[in-house]
Amino acid sequence: MCTGACSKFIAVPLYVMAAVSIICNVMLFFPGWETQFASQDRDGLNRITAEVKYMAGVIGGGVMVLVPAIHIHLTSTKGCCANRCGMFLSIGFAALGVAGAVYSLSVAGLGLANGPTCLWSNKDNLIPRWGTPFATSNGSYLADKDLWKWCISPENVVEFNVGLFSTLLVAAGVELVLCLIQMVNGLFGCICGTCGKESDSMLG
């Protein structure tokens, strides 16, 4: 496959993954599909899960991947892989995407491990209070759904966080792989500079 065509093949799913990351991060600000908790958090009451406020989906998996995706896509339209300068630059842009994906991946993993911020209580804590009840569980709560009942409010917040952080995790993983592939593809495009078909026609 021509390295230019490969760049286009990489850029399109990067657009999708960046959009998914941004949407998931924004949605995480509204646990239980309600806006009141985001408003209360702005008042200093800590109602939103800390990892959500790191904005990893918007900044890391979103903007830091979207910018490389645009450059990679533009590179693919400039005369196939004869565009050596564009391919060289795409290596740096792809490295930026790798950094963004790693940031998003790390925060999403941390968000899953620590669990959500919620109003919770259990047999050892009979008076409901706001906090992160699974922060010391090292993610073990994920395998025990009975513990999810500890969170009283927002409604179904554990399922909400697990679903969106898992999606963020997968999206960041795909972004990481695609950006790494583009770094290799860009290197080949920079060195080789021509498509196989072009080379064949020149030899003929």
pLDDT band at 43 (very low <50, low <70, confident <90, very high): confident
At 70-108, the pLDDT tens digits run 988 888 665 544 577 778 888 999 999 999 999 999 999
> What kind and span of H or E run contains 118?
strand 118-122
Q: What is the pLDDT of residue 84?
A: 74
Mean pLDDT for the chain? 88
Place of tokens 């179904």: 156
pTM (two decimals)? 0.88
Where do the structural domains in the chain lie, given as residue ranges? Answer: 3-116+155-203
Residues in contact with 166: Cβ distance below 8 Å, sequence separation at least 6, in sequence order: 108, 112
Q: Pinpoint the alpha helices (H) of the chain.
A: 3-27, 36-40, 64-76, 84-114, 157-192, 196-203
At 12-32, the pLDDT tens digits run 999 999 999 999 999 999 998
Place of tokens 């804590």: 125
For the chain, the residue count is: 204
Q: Helix (H, G, I), strand (E, B), or coil: what is residue 156? A: coil
At 143-198, the pLDDT tens digits run 999 999 999 999 999 999 999 999 999 999 999 999 999 999 888 877 775 454 44
